[in-house]
Structure 1
Amino acid sequence: MSKVLYVITSLSVGGAQKALLNLVASPLSTEYKPFVLALRPVDGVQGQFAQAGIPVYELQLNHWKGMLAAPLRLWRLVRDIRPDIIHGWMHHGNLAAVLAWLFAGCRPLLLWGMHHTPEAATAERMQHALVLRLGQWLSRFPDRILYVSRRSQQRHRELGYASGRSLVVANGIAARTHLSADVREDLRAELGVADETPIIGSLTRFVPEKDIPNLVEAIRLFVQGGNKACFLLAGEGMGTDNTVLAELLESAGCQESVRLLGVRKDAGRLIAAMDVATLASRCEAFPLFLAEAMAAGVPCVATDVGDIAEFIGSTGLIVPRESPAQLAAAWAQWLALPATERQQRGQAAQSRIRDTYNLDAVIDTYRSIFQEKPLTTPSLQ
């Protein structure tokens, strides 16, 4: 059986991590045995990988001792596993995958996975600038660069990344198990949300790309307009311990309408309780949260970034980025629709994910890619 070493930045709770879990826990693992290497130990979805029987290793790059020991540990790991395929996952993971490929002592198939869209230099955190530049220089080494969205592929080309062997492979969504109405009722009781109050949810992160200040301003305008809803905000940095976020909500005067849940590992349960799934991002590639919401029959209202408009289609509402007034108006517009129409649109969203973005089709694509022969020299295109 061929062996695949996936190299990812961390196993925190995020869309890229869930996409990797979907892939390695799929039937593809019966043909290509997966091993996962995380560069940094972050509490997240390690338990789910363990439950799926996937070996997980960590390089401990969160402190200087780990950084000093990392090259030797990586060399030993690669020589021990002897992978036939090395698949980088996210920018930092892609760079480490090149080093693993060099340490392999042979020439396994080298793949990069791009799960981010660098829309503009001003939207990038400073520490990512060097990573992007190194990635541009090293992008001639992979046999394939796999992008989860067309917009991500376009932006990386504009930044000078090699394009001769790039391919768009959207995230695949596994069939969702129907969650009973009791799940929705239990979560509402847990959070103290009345049955008649609509829930608008966002599984996101407190980072510049997600534009949380824009989201908070939209909530303020929505509430100020006399609309009622409870906003569930979950994810990294979205907890009550984030003083910056707490100050934003207090200044906006809408803290009573918001529940800050922080990092949660029950995303399916949260989504099942939502009436609307939303993102206010200023840049995205293929946000798995929205696709998972659609797969559960929850309609989406989101900003027009990445490939969001393409995969949501007519099943939800799209607004310009950095336009809180239009985002607030879209929420109000959606909740004003008759319940039967909202239900029909939710069913249409389910069908769209099932027909266009199902995991089985993605697995077939990966199977074809894994069967390709590695290049003998880096591409100079």
Structure 2
Amino acid sequence: MNQKTSIVHVITGLDTGGAEHVLASLALEKMRVGEHPLVVSLVDGGSQFDKLRTAGCRVIGLGMRRGRPSFKALMRLVRIIKCEKPPVIQSWMYHADIAALLAVYLSGRRSCTKLFWGIRCSDMDGSRYRYLRGVCSWLSKYPDGIIANSYSGLKFHTEVLGYRPKRTAVIPNFFDTERYCFRESARSRIRRELGLDENDFVIAAVARVDAMKDYPNFLSALEEIDGVTALAIGKGTETLPVTQGLIVLGERDDIPDLLSAIDVLVSASAFGEGFSNVIGEAMACQRAVIATNVGDANSLVGSAGIIVPPSSPFLLARAIARLQHDEKLARSMGHLGRERIIAEYRLERAVAAFQAVYGYCKKN
């Protein structure tokens, strides 16, 4: 018996990243309740690509080279849409937004397939994306709606970039609180592996090396304080300069265990964040958070951490030192954070919110 495709997700790539993780979680949840999503990646491969395929989800790579638009890949997407006849297409990030829009029109199914774009960032580096964002702004009136994961991202795209969507919705990221939870056994094991004592004060930055993530801010703050061990976790961290107290771990797939091993999560981003996944994951693991006031960090963290201005290493260092010398406060923030994530940012709520947006547009 043929299985009717419930939705087609189109994304630029399926490597490690916040949008990729959210898409994969949504697709797997849809499978769990008996639906049949299809995920299409412009670029082949990636950790989330493999994760989805292993779980039995249908995933198709279009073979496009990163940063190189391909007519062949576009026409393959057109054929997929013609064949699958999905009632809904959800695209993720700029390249995929454009590709999905062109493909749904070229497929001849624009009248019977609803298209939604996804905004996953706020004020991205204009020098890198100026042309692409200009095209998206010009085309933004054609999708049936645009779903952002942050209010700051939606505001930036509509007020600064000039997006003119028919409808908008903000659906924050969500978190698996069974996977992301504090485990004493993981804390002891990871600390033992890294040669750290139980009483060592350990912070971590979990981010790829990118101008947006502002590792120089993090490293400069680290130089201002004594008695702190810092973990740098993420793609490219092996290239960071050697600094006293810094342990670089590169890209890892055991983030919940690593978060259990630390005392405070530090997000030092300079710009571009919409709704940070790692901040929410740390909160779910009962870790206090220090974050720069970028994107929706302030509304997410609330009383579960400390917010500082971006690109201010002195203030970042002062916040770290405050929690270093007030273990009770850090522990209290951690408990508040997990309670907040459980109450407001569960997977089930996000799935229902997406479905409500799709359903509303079908009726109107």
Please give the TM-score of this superposition, normalised by the length of structure 2: 0.91
Counterpart of 1:300, as a letter, is V
On the 8 A contact 1:28/1:363 being kept in 2, the answer is: no
Residue in structure 2 matched with residue 335 of structure 1 by the alignment: 324
Paired letter, 1:270: L
Partner SS for 1:97: helix
CA distance in 2, matches of 1:203, 1:292: 10
Aligned to 2:264: 276
For residues 32 and 85 of structure 2, the distance between their equivalents in structure 1, rounded to whole angstroms, comes to 16
Is the contact made by 2:74 and 2:99 (CA closer than 8 Å) also made in structure 1?
Answer: no
Residue of structure 2 aligned with 1:81, choices 84, 97, 100: 84
Aligned residue for 1:259, secondary structure, equals: strand
Determine the C-alpha separation between the residues in 2 that align with 1:67 and 1:102. Answer: 17
Kept after mapping to 1: 8 A contact 2:31/2:37: no
Query: For the Cα contact (< 8 Å) 1:82–1:104, is it kept in 2?
Result: no
2-side partners of 1:42 and 1:258: how far apart?
Answer: 32
Distance 1:325 1:60 in 2: 45
Rate the CA distance shift 1:32–1:143 in 2: closer, same or farther, 3 A.
farther
Partner of 1:18: 21
Q: How many residues align?
A: 356
Answer yes or no: is 1:293 the counterpart of 2:298. no
Q: CA RMSD in A?
A: 2.2
> Match for residue 210 of structure 1?
213
1:303 aligns with 2:292: yes
**Cα distance in 2 for residues equivalent to 1:65 and 1:298:** 40
Name the aligned partner's letter for residue 235 of structure 2: E
Contact 1:78 1:103 in 2 (8 A): no
String of CA shifts for 1:172-217, please: whole Å, max 9, x gaps: 2222244532211221222222322122111112122111211111
SS in 2 for 1:300: strand
AA aligned opposite 2:169:
L
Runs of 5+ unmatched residues, structure 2: none
Distance in 1 (CA, whole Å) between partners of 2:88 and 2:264 is: 40
CA contact (8 A) 1:176 1:296 kept: no
2:123 partner amino acid: P
Runs of 4+ in 1 over 6 A off after TM superposition: 63-66
User: Aligned residue for 1:169?
Assistant: 171
Q: What residue number does 2:229 align with?
A: 230
Q: CA deviation at 1:315?
A: 1.1
- AA aligned opposite 1:60: G
Q: In 2, Cα distance between the equivalents of 1:21 and 1:355?
A: 22
TM-score, normalisation: structure 1: 0.87
- SS at structure 2 position matched to 1:318: strand
SS of equivalent to 2:187: helix
Question: Which residue type is aligned with residue 53 of structure 1?
Answer: G
**Any conservation in 2 of the 1:110–1:144 contact (CA below 8 Å)?**
yes
Output aligned runs, 1:148-227, within 5 Å.
Answer: 148-158=149-159, 159-177=161-179, 178=181, 180-222=183-225, 227=226
Query: Structure 2: how far apart are the matches of 1:72 and 1:157?
Result: 30
Write out per-residue CA displacement over residues 78-106 of structure 1, whole angstroms, 9 at most, x where no aligned residue. 22322111101112221121123123321
> Given residue 189 of structure 1, which amino acid in structure 2 is its aligned partner?
R
Secondary structure of 1:79's match?
A: helix
Shift in Å, 1:280: 0.7
Moved more, 34-43 or 63-72: 63-72
**1:41-190 residue pairs with structure 2 within 5 A?**
41-62=44-65, 67-107=70-110, 108-118=113-123, 123-124=125-126, 126-158=127-159, 159-177=161-179, 178=181, 180-190=183-193
Residues 303-338 of structure 1: per-residue CA shift (max 9 Å, x gap): 011110011001100000110010011011012113
Cα distance between partner residues in 1 of 2:30 and 2:82: 26
> Over residues 78-136 of structure 1, what are the superposed CA-to-partner deviations in whole Å (9 max), with x where a residue is unaligned?
223221111011122211211231233212110011101126xxx33x34111101110
Percent identity for Structure 1 against Structure 2 = 29
Q: Aligned pair in 2 of structure 1 residues 30, 337: CA closer, same or farther (>3 Å)?
A: same
Determine which structure has greater relative contact order: mean sequence separation of CA pairs < 8 Å that are 6+ residues apart, divided by chain length: 1
